[in-house]
Structure 1
Amino acid sequence: MSTLAVVCQTVCEDLTITINFRKVKPHIGNSIEEIVKRNTEIELTATTIRNYLNNEGLPENTIDFHALIETKFDYPDIALDNPNNTAILPFSSGTTGLPKGVQLTHKNLVHNMLQNSHPELKFKISATDSFQEVLPTMLPFYHAFGYSVVMNGLNLHGGKIVALPKFRPPSFISMLKEHQQESTILYLVPPIVLLLTNDPNAKKEYLKNLRIIFTGAAPLAASDVEKFCRKFGDHITFLQGYGLTETSPVVCSLWPSILDKEGSYRGSIGRPVPNTLMKVVDINDPKNTPLGPNVDGEILIKGPQIMKGYLNLPEETKNILTEDGWLRSGDIGHYNNNGYFFISDRLKELIKVKGNQVPPAELEAIVRSFPGVAEAAVIGIPHDTKGEVPRAYVVGKIGEKLDIEALNQYVDDKVAKYKRLKGGIVVMEEIPKSATGKISRRILKEMFLKDGI
């Protein structure tokens, strides 16, 4: 299959940034034309670079990279850029709408690196004369988690990054085996945690020196953490982070210093990083009055890492940024009596059953805890009288029998009536995901609406 990348040339004349990545064009649909139409600086590039390795089909005046770096230039003195100028232009995920250019400034990025490196956080990456931290990673560097948390974070502390050009489970597991002596930290997304738990080729000894696994991009259920630790050992500390492309990206983290002082809060995304404010508000309250602890609502964020705005989209910027500087996250969650935050689900992905809100992630965690289930995804499908009902898609564990009737009863016994899987359970070979490992509920909904799958 060919790859299709949408590339943006803006801010600097020679700056190219990947907007989005999908294996085949139908995964993007007709959104490309709309993106180009509203962003005059965007140019489209197609296919994988390996198609051009023999210099066939290259545009005229293409410069060979090796020739470029060997060329001597007289560089003029360049003044330092204004810290409030746009430094990079990542594009927000297309899973909840058309991709939007997120204007992150030099100030945003530097502040977020410093926030993530605060001494109180004790998230130590070692680089000495005798030892250098090695981080095997599969995260794409055009995504906020990859370029900011992994790349900038490791480079800031002198760590070494070993990256996969394309994620394949055997290749990633092989990397873990090869670098097991030098790797004490891993940055993962929840589907990769599940993969390592369920793959018999991922051996316990490959992670024997691991101290910390930091997860982000999607919620990770406490039951999934427990399964992982039963296989690989309790010496591994799981830390969850939370952020958005629009926040450079980190706003909240569960850090070792918190665990040392107050014990583990598995399932929590922790507390706001330094110089960051977070509040929870009723989604129907125009005044955005803060709610108290243990009450779900939309999470709002304020801090120096908040984006300047969306490129060429003033209305969309106005919709996400309040007049007093708070950013609407679009995520539903709450905080407990000790100030720890918990994410329930995306506001746009909540299933509405007769007016009741059902978070897909809650049902997915329950389904995954059933014997024989390796992965699960839940969406809402239309219903004549209830509006929507939950429908589950599951992937079975290799070599194990999956009893669908028993699974359905298992879920019924654990949830309120309106949360039951009245939309059915579908067994799949693979659940569609984005390039960063997030479950693509949008694709599942399209499959159901088009083919009834």
Structure 2
Amino acid sequence: MSFRNPYDDVEIPNVSVYDYLFGSIAEGDLDRIALIDSKTGATTTYRQLIGQINAAAGALAARGVGVGDVVAVLSPNIPAFATVFHGILRAGGTATTLNALFTANEIGKQLVDSKAKLLVTISLMGPQALEAARAVGIADENVIILDGEGQAAGGHPNAADLLGAGLPAPSVEFDPATHVAVLPYSSGTTGNPKGVMLSHRNLVANVAQIEPLNGMTADDVVLAVLPFFHIYGMTVLLNAALKARAALLVMPRFDMVEFLEGVQQHKVTYAFIAPPVAVALAKHPVVDNYDLSSIHTMLSGAAPLDAELGNAVAARLDLTMLQGFGMSELSPVSHLMPFDRGEKLVGVRAPLSSVGWAVPNTENRIVDPGTGEDVEIPADGVSAAGELWVRGPNVMVGYLNNEQATADTIDADGWLHTGDMATVDADGCVTIVDRLKELIKYKGYQVPPAELEALLLTHPQIADAAVVGAHDEDGEEVPKAFVVVAEGAELTAEEVMAFTAERVAPYKKVRQVEFISAVPKSASGKILRKDLRK
């Protein structure tokens, strides 16, 4: 039996992301501050941002970017990210965002799979970006280094080259419901990273779905430390905040002191975090040295937030702590606590251990993975656990060039099978309790075991390997490798960890190693991870 949220559905216009966010902006909002650079304090107004987006779109069109062409973006959070990202969409292109921690090899994989024709980056990431681009055949003139010397100095095109020509944005036509706006990469419920095709309608829908729940207004100053390249930062921060006409304090990475100084100096009112930030805010003594009283709301996502930890932050900083749930394949938000935890909008207060209610315009099912039958929704109390299924306008178009993975995730009736185990209470409030899927969540990042296993098997002294999530001394989930050493070989745990650390982004590193005689597998050859977890 399906169930819905307690809210009214919202209108989802059939328009592009650009038209939805900026097409009807009020004259009085144009001179509001849209972006604040946390490093320099420089500000960008909505008027300036829209002008820059249009100029970027014109420059990209002049470089041959049109409807359906893919442009890759490799950058931390900087104000120019918003210009480039929305410029690509404005030109009719598709933006594939790369993790700023990626190695050249990882960058190259995504460039090839997405068929990107241009790569936009910054000088800090230039070495690995250029190595990857050259390896996959992207010409130097198609690598734009935003803060580089520029073509006039014999270098790669830079931001001035992109925006200085002042070319008008092109006139483009496409169907917002089917045209792919962004192509982030996700491991889905299992396996190697896959391109998640999200249409303009997917992104517009998700901003519209969360807008009445997050309580964000034009008077808010929103801290943007979660990466824009991740779908959480892309939708919940970049797009939703711009739609609300709020000001975004753009921070390239989390540094405790810079975080606290930014909040104090710019009077941040709304902060979006992942659980590791909550740990620091709850426990670090330096927090007491700063005035954080301007923050009225903090929302945690990307990984489960422990209720005790969340309540500790709320009590220490005197704010409302919220939690939500989503995945790249859902654009990403499927569940969210309202800004008041539900007291006014729903009539009950969501427990912080939950992820709140389904967002508007969506349906949910909780299905017993053993029987395939729907779990009964209780008249009182909490249901049994089952796999959470979601259906709505925020469900992805599918995985790029992978019909089988798409069919394995979205069934014939349009239900997306999340791979997460959940319960629902009598009020419709959902709590995530476990994972069916094999992904490891390290500090909010997805770590696919299959990717690390494939890498480990390239080591000449490793005969077999399996990777699962384990917990470190702080209770954080980390990648743990079970390794079978080749006959006659000798290998240490430190050597195994160093081997992976040299070849993957830091968050994917193997952090624990155990040597075993054989990897347990089913008759079909599938790794029995549950046996290893025991």
TM normalised by structure 1 equals: 0.67
1:68, 1:205 → 2: CA distance? 40
Task: Look up the equivalent residue of 1:86 and give its one-letter code.
Answer: V
- Contact 1:221/1:267 (8 A) holds in 2: yes
SS in 2 for 1:175: helix
Asked if residue 259 in structure 1 is aligned to residue 343 in structure 2, the reply is yes
Q: Which residue in 2 is equivalent to 1:273?
A: 359
Equivalent residues in 2 for 1:29-428, closer than 5 Å: 39-41=114-116, 48-49=124-125, 55=149, 62-73=156-167, 77-79=171-173, 81-92=175-186, 97-118=191-212, 121=213, 123-127=214-218, 132-180=219-267, 183-203=268-288, 206-233=291-318, 236-257=319-340, 258-260=342-344, 261-285=347-371, 287-292=372-377, 293-349=382-438, 392-395=471-474
* Cα offsets for 1:3-41 (capped at 9, x unmatched): xxxxxx99643622455436474xx9x766765665544
- For residues 343 and 355 of structure 2, what CA distance do their matches in structure 1 show? 12
- Is residue 354–residue 432 contact of structure 2 (8 Å, CA) maintained in 1? yes
Percent of aligned pairs with the same amino acid: 27
Change (3 A) 1:201 1:450: farther
Question: Where does residue 41 of structure 2 map in the other structure?
Answer: none
Q: 1:231 to 1:448 in 2, by over 3 A?
A: same
Shift of 1:345: 2.6
Alpha-carbon displacement from aligned partner over 1:345-371 (angstroms, at most 9, x marks no partner):
3223599xxxxxxxx99xx9xxxxxxx
Paired residues, number: 355
* Equivalent pair of 1:31/1:98 in contact (CA under 8 Å): no
Distance in structure 2 (CA, Å) of the matches to 1:36 and 1:69: 24
Counterpart-to-counterpart distance in 1, 2:351 and 2:188: 31
Q: Matched residues in 2 for 1:254 and 1:104: separation?
A: 24
Alignment correspondent of 2:10: none
Give the aligned residue type for 1:221.
D
Does structure 1 retain, via aligned residues, the 8 Å contact 2:73–2:98? no
| Structure 1 stretch displaced more, 317-326 or 195-204 | 195-204
Task: Tell me the secondary structure at the aligned position of residue 228 of structure 1.
Answer: helix
Residue 403 of structure 1 is matched in structure 2 by none
Alpha-carbon distance in structure 1 between the residues aligned to 2:165 and 2:469: 60
8 Å contact kept, 1:11–1:86 = no
Structure 2, unaligned runs of 5 or more: 1-64, 75-96, 128-144, 444-448, 450-465, 476-499, 517-534
Q: How far apart are residue 311 of structure 1 and its match?
A: 0.6
CA contact (8 A) 1:36 1:43 kept: no
Range with greater deviation from structure 2 (134-143 or 165-174) = 165-174
* 8 Å CA contact retained: 1:136, 1:179: no
Distance 1:158 1:336, change over 3 A: same
TM-score (norm: length of structure 2): 0.58
Amino acid at match of 1:65: A
